[in-house]
């Protein structure tokens, strides 16, 4: 699977995803922060699932109707916990994610929204 990992989600998560065999672009590796909308557009254009802890992406997807290839919103927790959560998401919901699902983790709940205007 292809991912674009937002700065806030962390380099260690990006590295872990690479170790699992995924094609990963970490936003911090490509220069200055372009802003959330540009990041979402880049992920969509390149066919990447965007991984973030930022809440702002919901407004772009739900209110503005921006296209996407999938989104994972992880909580702002220790990176080790983020990695475990991502591992669980890929194990249990990888197929949904590969088809453009929006995955939101809140506490111990994982919510899946399938195919909201994916490209």
Q: What are the tens digits of pLDDT across the range 38-76?
A: 888 899 899 999 999 988 776 666 555 556 778 899 988
In a domain, 16, yes or no: yes
pTM over 0.75: yes
51, with CB counted inside 10 A (0-12, 13-18, 19+), is buried
Q: Are 61 and 13 in contact, with CB atoms under 8 Å apart? A: no
Full domain range(s) for residue 12: 2-113
pLDDT given for residue 61 in this prediction: 65
**Residues in Cβ contact with 33 at an 8 Å cutoff, skipping those fewer than 6 apart:** 7, 27, 39
Query: Number of folded domains in the chain?
Result: 1
In a domain, 94, yes or no: yes
In a domain, 118, yes or no: no
Q: For 101, left (φ over 0), alpha (ψ -120 to 50), or beta?
A: beta
In a domain, 119, yes or no: no
Look up residue 41 and give its two tokens: 């557009």
In a domain, 86, yes or no: yes
Q: What is the pLDDT of residues 68-112, one digit of tens each?
A: 778 899 988 888 999 999 999 999 999 999 998 889 898 878 888
In a domain, 90, yes or no: yes
């Amino acid at each position: 699977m292809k991912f674009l990992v937002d700065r806030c989600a962390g380099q260690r998560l990006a590295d872990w995803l690479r170790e699992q065999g995924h094609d990963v672009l970490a936003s911090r590796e490509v220069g200055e922060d372009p802003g959330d909308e540009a990041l979402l557009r880049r992920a969509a254009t390149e066919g990447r699932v965007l991984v973030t802890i930022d809440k702002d992406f919901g407004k772009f997807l739900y209110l503005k109707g921006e296209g996407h290839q999938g989104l994972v919103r992880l909580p702002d927790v220790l990176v080790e916990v983020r990695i475990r959560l991502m591992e669980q998401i890929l194990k249990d919901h990888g197929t949904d994610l590969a088809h453009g699902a929006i995955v939101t983790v809140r506490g111990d709940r994982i919510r899946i929204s399938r195919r909201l205007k994916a490209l």
